[in-house]
Amino acid sequence: MLAVKDEVSSWVKAYTADLFSYTISKVPDEATAEDIVQETFLSALEAYHTFQQKSAPKTWLFSILKHKIADYYRQKYKQVENLSNGGAVGDLFDSNGRLKAPCSSIEWRMEEELFDDPKFLQALHHCIEALPQKMSTVVELKYLKGANSEYVCQQLNITQSNFWQIMHRAKLLLKSCIENKWFRTGSST
Same domain, 175 and 95: yes
d(CA 55, CA 62): 11
The Cα–Cα gap between 120 and 25 comes to 37
Query: With 50 as the cut, is the pLDDT of residue 166 above it?
Result: yes
Quote the pLDDT of residue 108.
46
Tell me which residue of 146, 126, 128 sits closest to 137, measured CA to CA.
Answer: 128
Number of independent structural domains in the chain? 2
The Cα–Cα gap between 75 and 28 comes to 14
In a domain, 154, yes or no: yes
Distance CA(84)–CA(96), nearest Å, equals: 15
* Half-sphere exposure in the Cβ direction for 163 (13 Å, CA): 19
Domain membership flag for residue 165: yes
Average pLDDT of the residues of the chain: 78
pLDDT for the residue numbered 12: 95
Which domain, by its residues, includes 91? 87-183
Lowest mean pLDDT among 22-26, 105-109, 143-147: 105-109
Same domain membership, residue 12 and residue 50: yes
Q: Is residue 189 part of a domain?
A: no
Q: Give 62: exposed, middle or buried? Use CB within 10 Å, 0-12, 13-18, 19+.
A: middle
Position 136 scores a pLDDT of: 87
Query: Based on the domain organization, do 92 and 44 belong to the same domain?
Result: no
Same domain, 175 and 109: yes
The whole-number pLDDT of residue 85 equals 43
Same-domain status, 27 and 73: yes
Which residues contact residue 60 at a Cβ distance below 8 angstroms, ignoring those fewer than 6 apart?
44, 51
Spatial contact of 88 and 180, defined as CB atoms under 8 Å apart: yes
For 127-162, the pLDDT digits (tens) are 888 888 888 888 888 887 888 889 888 888 888 888
pLDDT, tens digit, 9 for 90 and up, residues 59-82 = 999 999 999 988 887 776 555 545
Residues 93 and 78 in one domain: no
Which CATH number fits the domain that encloses residue 156?
1.10.10.10
Rounded to an integer, the average pLDDT of 8-34 is 92
The percentage of residues in the chain with a pLDDT greater than 70, rounded to a whole number, is 74
Domain's final residue, options 82, 103, 132: 82
Q: Is the pLDDT of residue 104 over 70?
A: no
Q: 100 and 171 share a domain?
A: yes
* DSSP tag of 99: B
Is 55 domain-assigned? yes
Residues 77 and 122 in one domain: no
Strand-pair partners of 101: none
* 100-119 mean pLDDT: 56
φ, ψ at 32 (rounded to 5°): -65, -45
Separation of alpha carbons 173 and 101, rounded Å: 10
pLDDT at 40: 95
Return the higher-pLDDT residue of 94 and 67: 67
pLDDT of 94: 53
> To the nearest whole percent, how much of the chain has pLDDT over 90?
26
